[in-house]
């Protein structure tokens, strides 16, 4: 029988919560969207939630009272509006959700907040800049786990969407939801013709149906569960250390 995890809000109870002074709240944020032919629509949600929980476990075992909030399952999918059941949540809606969540945390005396993002279409920086002025006594930050250096330590070609990295992670976390890789497309993506967009010093939204035939970006065929376990261990260890450091940080003395 699995033990109750007091650092997972969805699993814990008032008996535990009322007696715990939480230091950091973590909000996993994903998306609901097609991931090539072989991965589930909730890929980003599964990854974000498991990484948040695995990281919080490490921080909790270090003596830090962190709490993982329920995962937000919808992300910004404006470029995939015509792919069936890709569910779009506009940035303005995300801002309203964050405002309400942070207001609740502030009332309950939790003054450190992390958005753990697992979807490339989400970007919370400007929202957090605006909300930081409103909630000056709550430290607000975001992290994108898929941008961490550890990714390149494990994968030569991690891929952007449903490629080797995400496929390996889901093989490790939810193997029963991964179809045989024989059905997977090759994740070939068409880049912009304009050089500035290719070099990424100019940006424009990609229209997904024009970019990829199978909704994937990145070849998944070298993925393995062993690689997924390795990257999961690396990520949770590093993020767990970050959560410990944040929990122990003095908000009045944050700079060297």
Q: Where are the domains of the chain?
A: 14-158+235-248
pTM reported for the whole predicted model? 0.97
DSSP string, the chain: -PPP-TTBTTT--HHHHTT----EEEEEE--B--BTTTB-TTHHHHHHHHHHHHHHHHHHHTT--EEEPPPB--B--GGGTTSTT-BB--HHHHHHHHHHHHHHHHHTT--EEEEEE--TT---HHHHHHHHHH-TTSEEEEEEGGGSTHHHHH-SS--SBSSHHHHHHHHHH-GGGPPPGGG-----BPPPSSHHHHHTSS-----HHHHBSSS-BS--TT--HHHHHHHHHHHHHHHHHHHHHHHH--TT----
Q: How confident is the model at residue 1 (pLDDT cuts 50, 70, 90)?
A: low
At residue 2, does pLDDT exceed 80?
Answer: no
User: Which pLDDT value is given to residue 190?
Assistant: 97
User: Which pLDDT value is given to residue 3?
Assistant: 81
Average predicted confidence (pLDDT) for the chain? 97
Q: What is the mean pLDDT of residues 150-178?
A: 96
The tens digit of pLDDT for each residue in 210-237 reads: 999 999 999 999 999 999 999 999 999 9
Q: How confident is the model at residue 39 (pLDDT cuts 50, 70, 90)?
A: very high
At residue 114, does pLDDT exceed 80?
Answer: yes
User: Which pLDDT value is given to residue 177?
Assistant: 98
The tens digit of pLDDT for each residue in 132-160 reads: 999 999 999 999 999 999 999 999 999 99
CATH (one of 3.20.20.70, 3.10.20.600, 3.40.50.10310, 3.40.50.720) for 14-158+235-248: 3.40.50.10310
């Amino acid at each position: 029988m699995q033990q109750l995890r007091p650092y997972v809000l969805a699993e814990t109870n008032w008996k535990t919560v009322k007696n715990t002074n939480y230091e950091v709240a973590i909000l996993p944020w994903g998306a609901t969207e097609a991931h090539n032919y072989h991965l589930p629509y909730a890929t980003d949600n599964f990854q974000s939630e498991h990484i948040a929980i695995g990281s919080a476990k490490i921080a909790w075992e270090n003596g830090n009272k962190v709490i993982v909030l329920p995962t937000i399952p919808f992300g910004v999918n404006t470029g995939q509006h015509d792919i069936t059941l890709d569910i779009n949540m506009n940035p303005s809606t995300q801002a309203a959700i964050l405002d309400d969540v942070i207001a609740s945390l502030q009332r309950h005396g939790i003054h450190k907040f992390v958005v753990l993002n697992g979807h490339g279409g989400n970007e919370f920086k400007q929202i957090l800049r605006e909300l930081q002025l409103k909630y000056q006594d709550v430290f607000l930050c975001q992290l994108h786990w898929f941008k961490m250096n550890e990714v390149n330590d494990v994968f030569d070609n991690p891929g952007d969407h449903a490629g080797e990295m995400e496929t390996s992670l889901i093989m490790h976390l939810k193997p029963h939801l991964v179809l045989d890789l024989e059905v997977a497309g090759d994740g070939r993506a068409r880049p912009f013709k304009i050089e500035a967009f290719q070099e990424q010093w100019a940006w424009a939204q990609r229209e997904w149906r024009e970019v990829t035939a199978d909704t994937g970006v990145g070849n998944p065929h070298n993925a393995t569960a062993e690689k997924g376990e390795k990257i999961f261990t690396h990520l949770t260890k590093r993020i767990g250390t970050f959560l410990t450091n944040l929990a122990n940080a003095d908000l009045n003395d944050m700079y060297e």
